[in-house]
Structure 1
Amino acid sequence: MIDLRNIETFFWVATLGGFRAAAEKLNATQPAISQRIALLESDLGVRLFERNTRGITLTPKGSELLSHAERMLQMRQDMQVAARARKIMGGTLRLGVSETIVHTWLPRLMERLSDAYPALMVEIQVDTTTSLKSQLIAHQIDLAFLLEPMDDSRIESLHLCQYPLHWIAGPTLKVGRQPVTLQRLSQWPVITYSSTTGPYRMVRELMLAAGIERPRMYGSSAVSVIVRMAQDGVGTGVLATVFLAKEIERGELRVLEVKAPPLPPLRYAACWMQRPDSHVARTVAEVAQRIAREEDAKYQAIHIRQNPDKNFL
């Protein structure tokens, strides 16, 4: 019989790219991690990793089996959540979501909820954080994934994830040699999140502190608008690039080095009203938190392997 602990070990070695990182993640020794992988390879009758002086890589069969391992671990997590639930989850959950979450891990959350709670219906409302906060207070939605938690005693919240902000530009924008100054960038509008958000205010404060008296800024509640305007060379953009890997790889966007203090990351939280029937919202928020952490581990592992000399939030 295959030990689920060995499958979990295989998943984290593959995801984090090494035995040492997996040992730290699972609070185990490297020899124990190696033994678990050896046992799993013996049970399956296949080699999962190729080992050489530069490290390890998945074999073709290992790559094929990784998705199976992930599904098995997800099923275990879902079973644990269901076992802790006080009742079968059903009915309708009205979920409000900020757009960045839509472009990252929301599809995985919906798949997980469909598998674990087939009787639960979810209505999704995509809107700005400002609007979603108002809807939550007005009981128009049951759960919201917001940019920053709400400072309200009636609200419970759970940290979900955080994404670094970057300055970006399209290939036609002639910003000159990098790192580029804010004075140079002030020749074009700065396109970022809407004027009611923290990123907009922070960018404006940076520009003012740099001596730019009237910074031109375009705020948009639609991430797709920010991306398109930056691609078209309307101006520079400031946003989280976590979902823009393809555009950057194709050369449609580039990340700029800017002579300015670093921008704080976007911090997302799940928020819901304290009510007797808030168990469903809390449970979904906990599932969302686990998925966000899994996605962040993958994101960090990929970028650390590709950029070993850089730090990522």
Structure 2
Amino acid sequence: MKRIAIYHLETLLWIARLGTFRAAAERLNTTQPAISARVREIEEQLGIAIFRREGRNMVLTARGRRLVQECEPLWAGFEKALLTASGFEGASGVVRIGSGEIAAASCLPGFVHAIEQDLPGVTLELELDLTARMFQQLLGGTIDLAFLAGPVASPGIRTTPIGSVGLVWAASARTAAAGGFANALPVWSIPDLSPLHGVTMETLEANRVTPRSIGTCNNVRTLIDIVTGGGGAAVLPEPMVRPLLEAGILAEVLPPPARKIRFEVAIRNTESDPLVLELFRRASELRIDGTPD
């Protein structure tokens, strides 16, 4: 029987998923030469070519593709059996999570704390980004789990709704007292890849408001700072500005948009890593602040 170690199979599966030796090395916390050596060992043991190079990517040969297809469920089953037997107490590894700012400001801190308490061997790598980019990163395998502004529909993605967030049209209290939109205010928004931008444009039209200008910024907290400083008005997530509204620092300058921003937790449809699936299960039980679906 060929002497193939468990780490050989793990290496093979991650190269197949991520497309490059370098990405697999980063994922497995090792070096690219070590990954190359493992591949050579597998190919020498089996006497076949598993990958061929196409540009920067490593593409599976026909025999390599069959090997991956047959080994992936075996690997997932092996991992799941070990983790289930220990109640996930001995779980270890790195899980990469993408999140938008709104989710990061509401349910994500509690989720991270619970994982650190229950699964101390698991390392989380968090990255904040816009939904459109996280969607592509998830499909590309560079993140494992994402908190997305939805609804998201894709045959490659599996999602579960985790609630929604109400929105408000806000400006500084001084700006509102001076007449608000009666004075052709500048408007600020997240760029057009975000659902927040769509709500902004829809409600401006519905209220027949023509702003002086529409500026964009890809950071919600910076938008809040701009508006608080008297820089104009913006559609903002109500939970993130609730303390400022209650303190009288911000004020509403148009009726609240009827449309809310829905949130979903997402993984790849083909995800088989038991640890990622367990975190997806836990994340699916979360609820975004204050407005359950």
Shorter-chain TM-score category? 0.5 to 0.7
Of 200, 204, 208 in structure 1, the residue corresponding to residue 201 of structure 2 is: 204
The amino acid that maps onto 2:226 is M
Unaligned segments of structure 1, at least 5 residues: 1-80, 301-311
Sort the Cα spacing of 1:131 and 1:85 in 2 relative to 1 into closer, same or farther, 3 A.
farther
Question: Distance between the aligned counterparts of 1:85 and 1:147, measured in 2?
Answer: 31
Distance 1:88 1:274 in 2: 25
Matched, 1:282 2:270: no
Q: What is aligned with 1:133?
A: 135
| Aligned with 1:231 (options 228, 233, 244) | 228
Amino acid at match of 1:217: I
Structure 2 distance, partners of 1:230, 1:242, is: 16
CA contact (8 A) 1:96 1:127 kept: yes
Check whether the contact 1:208–1:214 (CA below 8 A) recurs between aligned residues: no
Change (3 A) 1:265 1:211: closer
- Cross-structure match for 1:190: 187
SS of the equivalent of 1:161 reads strand
Q: Name the larger-Rg structure.
A: 2
Do the aligned partners of 1:175 and 1:184 also contact (CA within 8 Å) in 2?
Answer: no
**TM-score, normalised relative to structure 1:** 0.59
Give a deviation string over 1:241-287, Cα, whole Å, max 9, x none.
2133332233222234x258x33111111111122524333322332
Moved more, 216-225 or 201-210: 201-210
Matched, 1:252 2:249: yes
Following superposition, the deviation at residue 85 of structure 1 comes to 6.2
* Equivalent residue letter for 1:292: R
AA aligned opposite 2:194: T
Determine the structure 1 residue equivalent to 2:163: 161
Amino acid at match of 1:264: R
SS of residue matched to 2:182: helix
Asked if structure 1 preserves the Cα contact closer than 8 Å seen for 2:187 and 2:211, the reply is no
Q: Report the CA distance between 1:202 and its aligned residue.
A: 2.8
User: Which string of whole-angstrom CA distances, capped at 9 and with x for unpartnered residues, describes residues 205-249 of structure 1?
Assistant: 332355456773222220111100110111112111213333223
Quote the offset at 1:99 in angstroms.
Answer: 0.8
Q: Which runs of 5+ in 2 are unaligned?
A: 1-82
Deviation at 1:290, TM superposition (A): 2.6
> How far 1:204 moved relative to its partner?
1.3
Q: Distance in 2 between matches of 1:288 and 1:246?
A: 26
1:265 to 248, 260, 265: 260
Alpha-carbon distance in structure 2 between the residues aligned to 1:233 and 1:82: 54
Q: 1:210 to 1:242 in 2, by over 3 A?
A: closer
Q: Within 5 Å, give how 1:52-201 maps onto structure 2.
A: 88-174=90-176, 184=182, 187-201=184-198
Which sits farther off after the overlay, 166-175 or 202-211? 202-211
CA gap 1:112/1:170 in 2 versus in 1, 3 angstroms: same
RMSD: 3.0
Question: Do residues 243 (structure 1) and 243 (structure 2) align?
Answer: no
* Count of paired positions: 211
Q: Deviations over 1:67-94 (max 9, x none)?
A: xxxxxxxxxxxxxx97896895321101
CA contact (8 A) 2:171 2:251 kept: yes
